[in-house]
Amino acid sequence: MFQALVLLLLSTLSLQISAEENNAEENKTSKPTIAFPISQQRIFDQDLTKYSSASEVAWLGDKESRFLTLWREQTTGTVTGTSWIFADTYTSANNPNIIQTLRYQLSDRGLHTYSISPLSQTLTSDQAEQRLQTQLLILQDKIVSQDGKRLLILQGANCQAMINVLIQNKDVYVDAIVLLSAHSPTPELASQLINQMHQLKAPILDLYAQTDSLAIIHEAKLRRTAANRINTSKYRQTEVIGLQGQVETQIATSQIIYGWLVKLGWY
């Protein structure tokens, strides 16, 4: 009886070892399943097409250069012009903060608004700037038949990349530029932005928030110092007081931009 029990235990142990060896062999030969994350750009596009008004969602460009914008027609009796709003990288074109507020406020000031779905990649790369250039050219072709001025609004890292695109492409022109909390990834690019800004003919309104990061505020001070040194009248810098997430601060930003456009003779 004892011998039979020992044989049974040995047999069971042998089967377990054999099963573990087979599983190990299968794990060596089978390929793991890799789940690639959905790109952030695709998430932005899905968000806009799913939750935004269908009458405001507009795809521009052909098959290879297609990109998404939120379009809003001006609501006044007289058309002032068109505004192109490029939100910061890794944010939605329907950003519920200042971008969305400007999209609605500017349309009530007589400006057709295009809020462009931003790039979800590093903006200092040549490929990213090439895509921004393509978007600008398509937007320019879109408004050829429309009257009025052209206002370009840039936020964050988009400021550095887009100013560089404008310098490199004389065929694209705008009548005024607004920078929102501009920042550059390196000190060298920050210096490049300062030099390139003053090469443009368009007047520039440089806005930064009281609650911005120290790096953004430091770069803003460098730009103001450089502008004072050359005594240029086409550059104006203003600090926006208040928390960026507050509606009152966003409306104040819109009013600052409107007041600046009035001074430029747009109204």
Q: What is the pLDDT of residue 157?
A: 85
Show me where the domains of the chain are located.
Answer: 56-263
* pLDDT recorded at residue 29: 47
Q: Residue 43: its pLDDT value, please?
A: 65
Position 13 scores a pLDDT of: 45
Segment-wise mean pLDDT, segments of 10 residues, the chain, 267 residues:
46 51 51 49 64 73 79 88 87 79 93 80 67 85 75 91 88 92 89 91 94 93 92 91 85 95 95
- Check residue 123 and give its pLDDT: 57
Distance CA 24, CA 157 (A): 50
> Span 56-263: which CATH code?
3.40.50.1820
The per-residue pLDDT for 116 is 85
Q: What is the CA radius of gyration of the chain?
A: 27
